[in-house]
Structure 1
Amino acid sequence: MPGPVELQGKKYPAKQHAQKVRGHFLTTVRGQTEGSASFFLSGENLKLHPYSDENQVMRQNRYFYYLSGVNIPGSHVLYDLKADKSTLFLPEIDLEEVMWTGMPMSIEEAQKTFDVDEIVYVSEMETRVVAAKAHGKIFTTDVNEWNQHLAQHLTPGDKDFFLALDESRLLKDDYELALMRHAAAITDNSHLAVMSALPVEKNEGHIHAEFIYHSMRQGSKHQSYSPVCCAGPHASTLHYIINDADIVDQKTVLIDAGAEWSNYASDVTRCFPVDGHWTKEHLEIYEAVLDMQSQTMALIKPGVSWDDLHLLAHRVLIQHFLKLGIFKAEFSEQQLFDSGVSDAFFPHGLGHLLGMDTHDVGGRPNSEDPHPKLKGLRLRRTLQAGMVLTDEPGIYFSPFLLEDTLKEDGEMIKYINRDVVDKYWYIGGVRIEDDLLITETGYENFTKITKDPKEISKIVLDGIAKGRGGFHCIV
C-alpha cells in the first residue's frame, strides 16, 4: 500500500544518515583520529520459534535501518568513513526457498530502491570486511548471531559510536517526518474508529481488535508497541496490555495505541466514557489532565527545558486537586509540591522522544538523579527544532501506587482528603497524549484526533445511536 505521496519516487536517505553519524563521530566525538574507520551493522534475520518451523515476527534493528533503509532479513551494511562509501550486503538467493516465499529482491531492483553506493551478496562480505579492517577499526553496535563469524574484525559497543548514532537520530529530517505524519494520520483514524464503535465493543479485546483492524486497512501491519486498551480501574496500570476484561459495567476507557509506518512510530492516548456521557468525577480528572497538557504545550519551543515543563505539569495537577478537595486547602501549592504528594498520582514523565522507537534514543535520561520528580524522565534536554516527542500527562488512582501515600500512619496522608479520593477509584486513570514536532518557533502537532470532551462525547453517542458495527473501515 502506498505511503506518503510526497515520498513517492524518493529513497530513504540512508547515505545522508551515514554521513550525519560520521560527522558526529569525527568532529564532535572522536576528532580526526578515526578518519580511516568503518561502521558495520547487521540487520535482523528470520528466526524460528523454539521447537517449531514457524518464524518469529522480525523487528528490524533500528540502527541498521537508519544506515540502510532496508527491511530485508539477513542484510548487512558497511560504511567506509574516509571513502564516504556505503556497501549493502544482501542474502544469497536460496532456490529451494523461492517456491515457498517467491523470488527475493534482485541486486538490480535493490539499486533502484536503496540509497547506498554498492550492493553485493553476503558471499563477498567477509572479504570486504577484512579489507576494511586493514585501513582502520570497524565499529559495530554488537556482535550477534548474524555476524559472529566476523567478530575478530569488529569493535563492538563503543560508547562514542552509540553516542554518534543517537545524536544523529535525535533530529528528524524531512523524509522521516513524512513517515511519522503518515503514521500519525493512520493512528488518528484508528482512534476515531474505536470511539465510534461502542455497539460492538463489549470487551477490552474488542477495542484492541478495532484499532488493529483499521490500522491494517490503512496499510500499517505493525504497531509501534503493544496497544494499551483498558476500562475502569485497569486504566491505573500504565502499560496494561492484558486487554481482555469486559467493559459493559465500566464507566471509563483509556486506549494508548499507535500505528507504525516503515519502522517509524506514532504514540497516542485518548480517553472516553463508555456510554458517551462523562461522569462528574471522570470529567473533573480529564479536564485536569487536559489543562496539564495545554499549559505545557503552550510553552514548547526550542531552548525550553523539558524538566521545567514536567515540573509545571505537577503544579497544574496540584492546583486542580486543591480545587477538587483531593488535597487539603490548609496547605499551599508550594508545600504540596515540595512534599512529593503529587508523585503517586502522576508517576511518569511528561513525555519522551519519538522516532523509530516509541521511546526513542537521545533523551539522556538520568535514573540516578536524586530529584524524585525528575529521575524517571526519559527526556532530560532542552528542546531543539527537529525533535519529535510526546506530551502525555496523566492522573491515576492506583491502589498499588497510592498504598503508601494513603497509609494512616504515613507522612503523606496529612495532605489528602481520603473520603474525596475514594470517589475517583472507578476511573482508574486518565492520560492524554499527542505527538509533537519541535519547530523553529514552537511545535507542530501531528495528532489530529480530538481531545475536546464535548466532541469526544458526540463521537461516542453518534456511534451508539447508529449502532455501527466494527467491520466497516472509516477510510
Structure 2
Amino acid sequence: MKYDLIDRNLFIKNRKNFMAKMKPSSLAVFNSNDIYPVSADSTLPFAQHRDIFYLSGVDQEESVLVLFPDAPKEKHREILFLKETNEHIAVWEGEKLTKEAALKTSGIKTVYWLQDMEKIMFEIMTQCDTVYINTNEHYRANVETETREDRFTKWLKDKYPAHSVARSNPILQRLRSVKDQIELDLIQNACTITEKAFRRVLKFTKPGVWEYNIEAEFMHEFLNNRSKGFAYTPIIGSGNNANVLHYIENNQQCKAGDLILIDAGAEYANYASDMTRTIPVSGRYNDRQKAVYNAVNRVKDAATKMLVPGTLWEQYHIEVGKLMTSELLGLGLIDKADVQNENPDWPAYKKYFMHGTSHHMGLDTHDYGILTEPMQANMVFTVEPGIYIPDEGFGIRLEDDVVIQEKGEPFNLMRNIPIEIEEIEDIMNG
C-alpha cells in the first residue's frame, strides 16, 4: 500500500458500531476479496473488499474478520485470521501483516493464522445461535463472479445448517453511509490529489492531444501523491464522445473548438473522489458552449443547496428535474409544449439529462446508502447534472463531492478545483 497508516481508532469505532446492531448470541464473518487470475500466472491488482477494510483496516488477501460480541471468551469477541507470513513469502511477494502489525493496523488483539480457522470456528459456532453473512445488496450490484465471500457462505451453511442466518448488509449500508471525520479527511485527500491532477491537465491540454494523453497526465499526478490511481475507470470524452455516458475508450484525438468531458477521480487509502469537469480543447469556450455550461453550473449550485438532513433522494431528483426543465427552456432545447405533453415517467428534460444527479460516495465510488431513508449529516454525495446535445457535438457535465452538514449548505470537498469558466480559461491560457 502507498498510503499512510490510518488511525486504527476509526476501525475500532466501526466494529463497535456494527456489534451494537447485532442480535444477541450472534457472530458475523467478513472475507477479503480474491486475487483474480487473468491467464497463465498473471493476476489483476489486488483490491480489498471494502467491508472488511471498513471494519479492520486490513488491506491484504486471504484475510477473515470474525465479530462475536457475546463470546464466552473475551479474546474471541474480535478475531482476525490472516495468511501466515514467513521469510520466503516476504522475498517473493513482499511483506505481509504479522500479528503485531495487524494489531497496530486494526486494534484487534486476537490474530490467528488461517490454518487454525476451521478449529476456532467450530468452537465459536457452538457458542452462538445466529451467523451474519455478508451478501452484496447494493442497488447497482451485478455480480457474475463467485467471490471468496460467496464460497465461505456456502461452506458455512453446509457445515452449520442448524444456525440461523442474518444479513450484515443492512447494518453496513447505514453505518458506512455516515462518515467519521477520519474518513472525511481521507476523502478530502483524494479530492485534493484530483485537484492537483486537474490543474496539471488544464495546462497540458491543447488541440491535437489524445484523450489517453490526458488520462496519462492524471495518472502521473495520482501516483506522485501516494494514490494507487483512478477510483473508477476514467471518462475522457472529447466532442461527441461526451454524449456517451460511460465512454471509457479514451482513444480519440482532441480537436480545436471541441469540449472535453473529464470524469476522473483519485483514490486514496481505498477512499474515492469523483470529479467531472468539461473543458475547451482550444482554451476558450464559444458563446453557445458558455450558455450551456453556465446552465449546468446553475443547476449544480441549486441542487447542492437541497442536500440537507431529512432530504429524500427520490424527491430531490424530482426537484432537480424542475430546475433542469427551466434551464432547457431557456436554452431553446425544449419548449412549453414538450413540457405540457411530457410523460411523467420520462419527463421532457430527460432527453438532454438522462441520469441521476447524486449518489453516495466513500469507500466505493457508488457507495453504500439506503436511498429510501432520509439524508443525514456527514453523508457524502456527488452532485453531477449534465446537458448532452449530440446534434451540436458536445455534452457538458459538472460534478463535485459534498458533505451534508448538520446545519446550512453542504461542505464542498472540491471547492478548490476550478469550475468557473473564467478561471478555467485563465489557467489554460496562462
Whether TM exceeds 0.5 here: the answer is yes
> Per the alignment, do residues 47 and 96 of structure 1 end up closer, same or farther by CA in structure 2, a change over 3 Å counting?
farther
Partner residue, 2:411: 444
Partner residue, 1:384: 376
Determine the C-alpha separation between the residues in 2 that align with 1:318 and 1:443: 24
> Per the alignment, do residues 147 and 309 of structure 1 end up closer, same or farther by CA in structure 2, a change over 3 Å counting?
closer
Structure 1 residue 248, shift from structure 2 partner:
2.5
> Is residue 251 of structure 1 aligned with residue 217 of structure 2?
no
Query: Per the alignment, in what secondary structure is the counterpart of residue 109 of structure 1?
Result: helix
Indicate which of 131, 137, 140 corresponds to 2:133: 140
Structure 1 residue 45, shift from structure 2 partner:
3.5
Query: Per the alignment, in what secondary structure is the counterpart of residue 66 of structure 1?
Result: helix
> Per the alignment, do residues 103 and 432 of structure 1 end up closer, same or farther by CA in structure 2, a change over 3 Å counting?
closer
Indicate which of 101, 111, 133 corresponds to 1:119: 111
Partner residue, 2:61: 73
Determine the C-alpha separation between the residues in 2 that align with 1:169 and 1:438: 14
> Is residue 265 of structure 1 aligned with residue 257 of structure 2?
no
Give the aligned length: 408
Indicate which of 20, 23, 43 corresponds to 2:20: 23
> Is residue 180 of structure 1 aligned with residue 169 of structure 2?
no
> Per the alignment, do residues 266 and 42 of structure 1 end up closer, same or farther by CA in structure 2, a change over 3 Å counting?
same
Opposite residue 125 of structure 2, the aligned amino acid is: K
Determine the C-alpha separation between the residues in 1 that align with 2:111 and 2:314: 45
CA contact (8 A) 2:325 2:348 kept: no
Partner residue, 1:431: 397
> Is residue 456 of structure 1 aligned with residue 427 of structure 2?
no
Partner residue, 1:417: none
CA contact (8 A) 2:206 2:283 kept: no
Partner residue, 1:91: 83
> Is residue 38 of structure 1 aligned with residue 6 of structure 2?
no
CA contact (8 A) 1:138 1:154 kept: no
> Per the alignment, do residues 212 and 103 of structure 1 end up closer, same or farther by CA in structure 2, a change over 3 Å counting?
closer
Q: Deviations over 1:112-142 (max 9, x none)?
A: 2222231121122111211111122322215
Determine the C-alpha separation between the residues in 1 that align with 2:299 and 2:315: 13
Determine the C-alpha separation between the residues in 1 that align with 2:110 and 2:56: 11
> Per the alignment, do residues 252 and 325 of structure 1 end up closer, same or farther by CA in structure 2, a change over 3 Å counting?
same
Partner residue, 1:48: 37
Opposite residue 10 of structure 1, the aligned amino acid is: D
Determine the C-alpha separation between the residues in 2 that align with 1:211 and 1:24: 41
Structure 1 residue 99, shift from structure 2 partner:
2.7
Partner residue, 1:60: 48
> Mean Cα displacement is larger for which, 229-238 or 142-151?
142-151
Indicate which of 289, 298, 308 corresponds to 2:315: 308
For structure 1, the 5+ residue unaligned runs are: 26-33, 365-379, 399-421, 463-475
Determine the C-alpha separation between the residues in 2 that align with 1:393 and 1:301: 18
> Per the alignment, do residues 116 and 239 of structure 1 end up closer, same or farther by CA in structure 2, a change over 3 Å counting?
same
Opposite residue 319 of structure 2, the aligned amino acid is: L
> Per the alignment, do residues 102 and 450 of structure 1 end up closer, same or farther by CA in structure 2, a change over 3 Å counting?
closer
Q: Deviations over 1:366-401 (max 9, x none)?
A: xxxxxxxxxxxxxx4422101111011111124xxx
The residue correspondences of 1:202-351 to structure 2 (distance < 5 A) are 202-249=209-256, 251-329=258-336, 331=337, 338=344, 340-351=347-358
Opposite residue 460 of structure 1, the aligned amino acid is: M
> Mean Cα displacement is larger for which, 95-104 or 204-213?
95-104
Structure 1 residue 320, shift from structure 2 partner:
2.1
CA contact (8 A) 1:74 1:146 kept: no
CA contact (8 A) 2:359 2:382 kept: yes
Runs (4+) of structure 1 exceeding 3 A deviation are 1-4, 94-98, 142-160, 331-339
Structure 1 residue 321, shift from structure 2 partner:
2.3
Structure 1 residue 435, shift from structure 2 partner:
0.4
CA contact (8 A) 1:231 1:254 kept: yes
For structure 2, the 5+ residue unaligned runs are: 136-148
CA contact (8 A) 1:232 1:252 kept: yes
Identity of aligned residues (%): 28
The residue correspondences of 1:144-163 to structure 2 (distance < 5 A) are 144-145=150-151, 150=156, 152-153=158-159, 160-163=167-170
Opposite residue 265 of structure 2, the aligned amino acid is: G
Determine the C-alpha separation between the residues in 2 that align with 1:158 and 1:452: 52
Partner residue, 2:173: 166
CA contact (8 A) 2:174 2:370 kept: no
Query: Per the alignment, in what secondary structure is the counterpart of residue 351 of structure 2?
Result: coil
The residue correspondences of 1:354-393 to structure 2 (distance < 5 A) are 354-364=361-371, 380-393=372-385
CA contact (8 A) 1:65 1:71 kept: yes
CA contact (8 A) 1:252 1:274 kept: yes
Determine the C-alpha separation between the residues in 2 that align with 1:9 and 1:273: 39
Determine the C-alpha separation between the residues in 2 that align with 1:47 and 1:327: 48
> Per the alignment, do residues 258 and 455 of structure 1 end up closer, same or farther by CA in structure 2, a change over 3 Å counting?
same
Determine the C-alpha separation between the residues in 1 that align with 2:171 and 2:153: 22
Structure 1 residue 343, shift from structure 2 partner:
1.1
Determine the C-alpha separation between the residues in 1 that align with 2:9 and 2:393: 47
RMSD over equivalenced CA pairs, Å:
2.6
